[in-house]
Homo-oligomer: A and B are copies of this chain.
Amino acid sequence: MTDAPMTIREMCAAFDVTPRTLRFYETKELLTPERVGQRRLYGKRDRARLTLILRGKRFGLSLEDIRQLLDLYARDSVNEAQMRRACELGRARLAQMQAQRAELDEAIAELTTELAWGEGQLARLARAAE
């Protein structure tokens, strides 16, 4: 069952993070696992959120940035003002991501060029060594 709740250890293994990290995210209200007695149980929702959190981090977003974005995905924004705000934030972030994508493309192109030059040099050195 992919929707069976997971213990903290299973989460750590599945997502390659430490228990400390998961508890830390909880204090920052990024995750809200159920409790059985004192122990945490992470359900489908929290696993989806953690996926988004880790991806956000790879893009260089701060945890606070991510928290704001998660509100948009939460789709439980009760009142309209809150939802309007989440949408605005989402649009801004989307624009930013598209800009980042353009930059990333440029960086990839440049690095490819440099790499071709570098490997050309290596090839030249190899020939000269004979």
Contact = CB atoms under 8 A, between A and B. Distances in A.
Interface stretch (A3-11, A19-27, A51-59): A51-59
Contact of A58 (B58, B103, B115): B103
A125 to B, nearest CB: 5
Given A83-B121, A118-B83, A90 B111 contact: yes
A15 interface: no
A94 interface: yes
Nearest to A90: B115
A89 to B, nearest CB: 10
Given A86-B118, A87-B115, A101 B98 contact: no
Given A55-B103, A87-B122, A94 B73 contact: no
22 contacts: A55-B103, A57-B60, A58-B100, A58-B103, A59-B59, A59-B103, A59-B104, A59-B107, A60-B60, A72-B115, A72-B118, A83-B121, A84-B122, A90-B118, A93-B111, A94-B108, A94-B111, A94-B112, A94-B115, A97-B104, A97-B108, A101-B101
